[in-house]
Amino acid sequence: MLSLSSRDVKFLPGVGPHRAEILEKELGIRSFRDMLYHFPYKYVDRSRIYRVGEIDGSMPYIQLKGQILSFETFGEGRQRRLVAHFSDGTGVADLVWFQGIKFIAGKYKCHEEYIVFGRPTVFGGRINIAHPDIDPADRMSLSSMGLRPYYNTTEKMKRMNFSSSAVEKLMENLFHVIDGETLEETLSPAILASHGLMSLSEALLNVHFPKNPELLRKARYRLKFEELFYIQLNILRYSRERRNRFGGIVFGKIGDKFNTFYSEYLPFSLTGAQKRVIREMRRDMGSGRQMNRLLQGDVGSGKTLVALMAMLIALDNGYQACMMAPTEILASQHYETLCRFLGGMDVRVELLTGSVRGRKREEILEGLVAGEVHILVGTHAVIEDNVVFASLGLAVIDEQHRFGVEQRARLWAKNRILPHVLVMTATPIPRTLAMTLYGDLDVSVIDELPPGRKPVTTVHRFDSMRASMYEFVRGQIRMGRQAYIVYPLIEESEKMDIKNLEDGYKIVCEVFPEYKISKVHGKMKPSEKDAEMRRFAQCDTQIMVATTVIEVGVNVPNASVMVIENAERFGLSQLHQLRGRVGRGADQSYCILMTGYKLSEETRKRIQIMVDTNDGFEIAEADMKLRGPGDIEGTQQSGVAFDLKIADLARDGQLLQYVREVAGKLIDDDPQAVRPENAVVWRQLAEIRKRNVDWSAIS
Ligand code: ADP
Ligand code: MG
């Protein structure tokens, strides 16, 4: 018997070469197995039949049983629509089609019993159901009495009448062709038994054609369990393998530099959260295994300082440290911050970016090899091949989502001893996602802002209130503050309604003739950008007109207003990052989100979340729920294909945590992967690794 993955879907009854092509192109379905794992996105209870007479305007999808009395067509060309007047004796509903009219008119007949399924709208006293599903009333199917599955189809498929119910029919055929026997179980008997899981074949049948909600729940649970279990097993195994291969440098002591800094140079006391994170890092770095820690903390929570203290521990143990940032502006800002903090201490800090050349560059490189440079701050330049450290003990990576996995890997490649790694991000990744993405990257959180910060006040304003917004900005500048005005795009794009930066800049210049105005965008040379940022930071200019290049890290505590134009065009995490540019000093700061009047439901929610909360984690969770995890910033760039078929990282966090423990325990019990009772599991893992080649890069 051929395995399901090697049986071409075109040989499934009802498919054939033409539909096979569509299935592959539109849904990525090639084999019988792909088809089986194309799960319904919802189910509708088909045990209840409504009457036309009871329909009101607020109903979800419903089912009616009756006859078509007559057909009518209206309009011409693209306006054309077909209406079937449908009745069950209690009233008339109009079934309406805008596409596939010829097909529909030929397929259904007047005065025959049909079951009609769709979502009714009530308009001027008339009931409409657009593009309903219609089946002969006598048709018996697997789903006719229970919950009926609904499958995602694309616009193109709908135009070809390849609808959800067509997919449903193919699915029935599939279950007739493969009898339960050929579905090989993918979890071990022990796991099935101890977690009360359904068998795979039962689960697959019930996820497509559930007899009742309880069976559906069990089926979905089993499939989610399996999906998350193998993801975790895979990551955990890779990370154990890695851990076995590389030990970690032991930072056994806390010495002079750390202690001197702490008692004599630190200008304020650490927050409780900062202290906790430093303790966590000390424990990691003293443990004999390589630290691999993700440090999450909202903008302004004081991550840089924490990183500095970790670097001092490295120095105290005779090692060097480096800190990498995604842009030159950020790198030089970190450099300045570190120099300021360390001013007077005997620590040599250098800055290495693409624009450091010639003699200066040579000096730095020589200092590194000789071990005389203690801390190197820089951009990607830091991991170029000609940059050689005497003994790199700790690498700090800021804003990880712009710093790809490959770049991290190069860091490993260039050191015989593996440095400890601290990844810092201000884009909080929900815990579930972090676990899935990073496996055994330990996570620390700074969940407390330094004292005295006032939360940024955020408001939403429509374009029509622009004049009063400008007045507000002027008021703040008169009080000695500065303002950012951010635009989404740099050039006139295909959409004419986007206010571009250049136009915006002109307007701002006209509105504020009395002030000096900076302009920064992504297409400027780094040196120009830096110069302009510096002017603003030194308060030579009062307003900074910019694109999102200022999104990360820039620190100008005197700036108290962040105006975001076309806020509807930004994602939540971007808005939050931008807002984080203000509220860095002791003054009350403001974020003004400007939008047009027409906003989609989702956009409205996004803006509302920004107005309601300053909490980055809440925002990240909300973002994940609104957009789904695949869209979270950082997941695309990290090269992980999130191809979850049934589990939902936004909702199944608890289950994820649970299966992670199950997977961890299995590895602990069977580290060599040889125990016969786990054979099924290891075989399945090998299969999965074959299917997704890229996992090794992640943890
Ligand atoms: P992040 O990198 O997390 O956005 P920073 O490290 O840039 O935050 O810190 C933001 C500002 O807060 C900096 O000016 C820093 O000096 C200051 N800061 C950090 N920790 C404290 C603290 N414990 N008390 C007071 N100010 C602090
Ligand atoms: Mg920072």
Stretch 530-541: mean pLDDT:
90
The residue count of the chain comes to: 699
- Whole-angstrom CA distances from 277 to 264, 285, 417, 422, 528 are 21, 12, 24, 11, 37
Cα 677 to ligand 2 centroid, rounded to whole Å: 49
Q: What is the pLDDT of residue 639?
A: 35
Q: What is the DSSP letter of 31?
A: B
Q: How far is residue 318's CA from residue 252's CA, in Å, rounded to a whole number?
A: 11
Residue 234 Cβ inside 6 Å of ligand 1? The answer reads no
Q: What is the pLDDT of residues 635-650, one digit of tens each?
A: 433 334 356 788 876 6
Say whether pLDDT at 690 is over 60: yes
Is residue 26 pLDDT above 70, yes or no? Answer: yes
Give how many domains the chain has, as a whole number.
2
The domain in which residue 504 lies consists of: 457-613
Give residue-wise pLDDT tens across range 78-128: 788 899 999 999 999 999 998 888 888 888 999 999 988 888 888 778 899
Distance 419 CA to ligand 1 centre (A): 25
Task: Grade residue 437 by pLDDT with cuts at 50, 70 and 90.
Answer: low
What is the number of other CB atoms lying within 10 angstroms of the CB of residue 152?
A: 14
Burial tier of 111 (Cβ tally within 10 Å: 0-12, 13-18, 19+) = exposed
**What is the distance between the alpha carbons of residues 403 and 637, in angstroms, rounded to a whole number?**
9
Would residue 73 count as lying in a domain? yes
Q: Is residue 260 part of a domain?
A: no
Which pLDDT score, from 0 to 100, does residue 181 have?
63
pLDDT at 455: 87
Q: Give the model's pLDDT for residue 416.
A: 63
- Please tell me the distance between residue 446's alpha carbon and the centre of ligand 2 in angstroms: 12
Query: Which of 597, 613, 629 is a domain's end point?
Result: 613
**422 C-beta closer than 6 A to ligand 1:** no
- The residues that bridge with 121 in the sheet, in sequence order, are 128
Q: What pLDDT score was predicted for residue 372?
A: 96
Residues 542, 477: contact at Cβ < 8 Å? yes
Q: Considering all CA atoms of the chain, what is the largest pairwise distance in Å, rounded to the nearest integer?
A: 94
The pLDDT value recorded for residue 627 is: 66
Beta bridge partners of 85: 70, 94
The contacts of residue 43 (CB under 8 Å, 6+ apart) are 147, 148, 149, 150, 210, 216
Q: What is the mean pLDDT of residues 161-176?
A: 91
* Cβ atoms within 10 Å, residue 480: 11
Give Cβ neighbours of residue 661 (< 8 Å, ≥ 6 apart).
none
pLDDT at residue 329, as a whole number: 76
The verdict on the CB of residue 268 being under 6 Å from ligand 1 is yes
Where residue 632 falls among pLDDT bands split at 50, 70, 90? very low
Rounded Cα gap, residues 212 and 145, in angstroms:
9
- Closest ligand 1 atom, CA of 271? 23
User: Phi and psi of 377, rounded to 5°?
Assistant: -110, 140
Interatomic CA distance for residues 46 and 43, integer angstroms: 9
Is residue 525 domain-resident? yes
Q: One-letter amino acid identity for 518? A: S
d(CA 190, CA 493): 58
**Kind and range of the H or E run holding 405:** helix 405-413
The residue whose CA has the least distance to atom 26 of ligand 1 is 450
Query: Which is nearest to 120 in space by CA: 65, 158, 64?
Result: 64
What span, in angstroms and rounded, lies between the C-alpha atoms of 120 and 181? 42
* Mean pLDDT, rounded, for 456-483: 95
User: What mean pLDDT value characterizes the chain?
Assistant: 85
With 0.75 as the threshold, say if the pTM is over it.
no
Distance from the alpha carbon of residue 327 to the mean position of ligand 2, in angstroms: 12
- For residue 98, being part of any structural domain is answered with yes
Question: Which residues share a beta bridge with 31?
Answer: 8
**Residue 277 CA from chain centroid, whole number:** 25
pLDDT at residue 695, as a whole number: 38
pLDDT category of residue 549 using cuts at 50, 70 and 90 = low
Closest ligand 1 atom number to CA of residue 301: 3
Ligand 1 atom at minimal distance to the Cα of residue 297:
3
Whether the Cβ atoms of residue 39 and residue 222 lie closer than 8 Å to each other? no
Q: Which residue has the tokens 């697959």?
A: 204
**How remote is the CA of residue 477 from the centroid of ligand 1, in Å?**
24
Q: Which ligand is nearest to the CA of 398?
A: 2
Check the CA dihedral 234-651-552-285 and report its sign: negative
DSSP string for 114-176: EEEEE-EEEETTEEEEES-EEEETT---TTTTSEEEE----HHHHHTT--HHHHHHHHHHHHH
281, part of any domain: no
Mean pLDDT of 334-345: 91
Quick one: how far is CA 443 from the chain centroid?
A: 17
pLDDT at 698: 37
Q: Is the pLDDT of residue 186 over 60?
A: yes
Question: Distance between CA 571 and CA 569 in Å, rounded?
Answer: 7
Q: Which residue, by CA, sits nearest to atom 17 of ligand 1?
A: 302
| Structural contact between residues 301 and 448, judged by C-beta atoms closer than 8 angstroms | yes
Across the range 2-27, mean pLDDT stands at 90
Q: Whose CA is nearest to atom 27 of ligand 1?
A: 450
333 lines ligand 1 (CB under 6 A): no
Q: Measuring from atom 20 of ligand 1, which residue has the nearest CA?
A: 302
Ligand 1 binding pocket includes 305 (Cβ within 6 Å): yes
Protein residue whose Cα sits closest to atom 18 of ligand 1:
302
Distance from CA of residue 474 to its chain's centroid? 37
Cβ count near 220 (within 10 Å): 19
Query: Ligand 1 atom 9: the closest Cα is on which residue?
Result: 302
Going by C-alpha positions, the residue among 642, 612, 637, 639 that lies closest to residue 624 is 642
Closest CA to 374 of 396, 398, 390, 356: 390
Q: Which residues pair with 595 in a beta bridge?
A: 462
The pLDDT of residue 636 is: 39
Q: How far is the CA of 304 from the centre of ligand 1 (A)?
A: 7
pLDDT at position 78: 76
Amino acid at 366: E
Ligand 1 neighbour 427 (Cβ under 6 A)? no
Task: Tell me which residue has its CA closest to atom 15 in ligand 1.
Answer: 302
Q: What is the pLDDT of residue 21?
A: 94
Residue finishing a domain among 613, 647, 682: 613
* Amino acid at site 76: E
515 in any annotated domain = yes
Q: Which distant-in-sequence residues (6+ apart) come within 8 Å of 115 by Cβ?
A: 49, 63, 64, 65, 134, 135, 136, 137, 139
Mean pLDDT check: name the lowest of 9-18, 57-66, 653-662.
57-66
**Residue 90: which CATH number?**
2.40.50.140
Contact 480, 503 (CB under 8 A): no
Decide: 383 in ligand 1 pocket, CB within 6 A: no
Write down which residue in 563, 595, 613 finishes a domain. 613
Nearest C-alpha neighbor of 564 from the set 536, 585, 540, 544 = 544
- Does residue 289 belong to any structural domain of this protein? no
Query: Is 246 exposed, middle or buried, given 0-12, 13-18 or 19+ CB atoms closer than 10 A?
Result: exposed
Ligand 1 pocket test, pick from 266, 277, 278, 305 with the greatest ligand atom count within 8 Å of Cβ, gives: 305
Pocket flag, ligand 1, residue 574 (CB < 6 Å) = no
Rounded Cα distance, 389 and 397, in Å? 16
300 lines ligand 1 (CB under 6 A): yes
What percent of the chain lies above the pLDDT cut of 90?
Answer: 45
Q: How far out from the chain centre does Cα 67 lie?
A: 48
What is the percentage of the chain residues whose pLDDT exceeds 70? 86
Cβ contacts of 283 within 8 Å, gap of 6 or more:
none
Distance 428 CA to ligand 2 centre (A): 13
Distance from Cα 403 to the centre of ligand 2, integer Å: 15
303 lines ligand 1 (CB under 6 A): yes
pLDDT at 689 over 50: yes
Q: Are 132 and 95 in contact (CB under 8 A)?
A: yes
- Cα–Cα distances (Å) from 44 to 36, 305, 467, in that order, read 19, 54, 51
Give SS3 for 373.
coil
Q: Going by C-beta distance under 8 Å and a sequence separation of 6 or more, which residues neighbour residue 284?
A: 291, 293, 420, 442
Burial 114-143 (b: 16+ CB within 10 A, else e): bbbbbebeeeeeebbbeebbbbeeeeeebb
> Whole-angstrom Cα distance, residue 606 to residue 595?
12
Give residue for tokens 């074949």: 201
- Cα of 449 vs centre of ligand 1, distance in Å, is 8
Least reliable range by pLDDT among 132-146, 258-272, 307-321, 597-611 = 132-146
**Can you tell me the mean pLDDT for 194-220?**
92
Q: Is position 356 within any domain?
A: no
User: Can you give the pLDDT at residue 367?
Assistant: 96
Cα 593 to its chain centre, rounded Å, is 22
pLDDT value, residue 633:
45
